[in-house]
A = this chain, B = another copy of it.
């Protein structure tokens, strides 16, 4: 027992909780990429996870942690992306309502995913092009006042962090001898869960966070020793534009070996490489760790390198190397 808000025991409990509801995603290898990077790669494919993204892990763990009385009031969250779809799917699976505060300019594909999984969208009123945190919070507070639904933060929540940790726990069980484990970092839910899993597995693996240069708040936060919020990031990795929270910052500060950053061009090239060589569809955020290898940001020659490919919900009309056909 520790006084920590979230530990490996929570990850273990999360694994039991989501078992049978979510997929144990496959680990791919590629002789072509091994040759290109001079390392032995293991690629954990969360793009094949339900709702196409690792975030289903945190969402399911949270929704299925709720007691029955709490659960019947539903869940509420704010998200313009994958967390919204994951919470909607988890709630539908439990048979409860999900209220999703979304910006009016959210991508059609993300709105469609929430509708597909039965989530109820509440549009966030906004003065600017993108809602501010205050505008999101006001909408969520209004929904909570009306419904008493349970708030689920996209990443700064012990239940979410423990759920995301199940990915690395599975990965390290299948590949116990990894030298490095690379994951992208946005709000830090996945990366902090990954550190818990590595600690719990008593693994010597070095956990590395990867983020766009254009959204390098995690690297700056780690160097500063306190959270440096991300202001107006402009990156194609839309899942990594958020800033760390206090829980994720604490875990990442304690156990992450390093944070490396990559260029926008590197992200696009790495994304295309995954399509071309691995024959899988990944979204820009997922390509960030591959970009770190492509841009030689880590000395991995001859080492065994695990990479979490986080999701596959790419906008197929806006692939970074193509644009929609003229009809």
Contact = CB atoms under 8 A, between A and B. Distances in A.
Contact of A275 (B48, B276, B316, B326): B316
B47 A279 contact: yes
Nearest to A23: B29
A266 interface: no
B321 A276 contact: no
A50 to B, nearest CB: 8
A281 B276 CA distance: 8
A81 interface: no
Nearest to A314: B275
A67 interface: no
Nearest to A326: B323
A159 interface: no
- Copies per assembly: 2
A299 interface: no
B312 A321 contact: no
Contact of A279 (B48, B317, B320, B323): B48
A319 interface: yes
A281 B282 CA distance: 10
Interface in A270-327: 272, 275-276, 278-282, 312, 314, 316-317, 319-326
Nearest to A311: B279
B48 A316 contact: no
A316 B47 contact: no
A279 B47 CA distance: 7
B321 A316 contact: yes
Contacts of A280: 279-281
Nearest to A318: B322
A322 B312 contact: no
Contacts of A28: 48
A52 interface: yes
Nearest to A281: B279
Given A275-B281, A275-B316, A316-B322, 8 more contacts: A26-B26, A47-B279, A279-B280, A280-B281, A322-B323, A322-B325, A323-B323, A323-B326
16 contacts: A47-B279, A52-B279, A275-B281, A275-B316, A276-B281, A276-B316, A279-B281, A279-B282, A316-B319, A317-B321, A319-B322, A320-B325, A321-B325, A322-B323, A322-B325, A323-B326
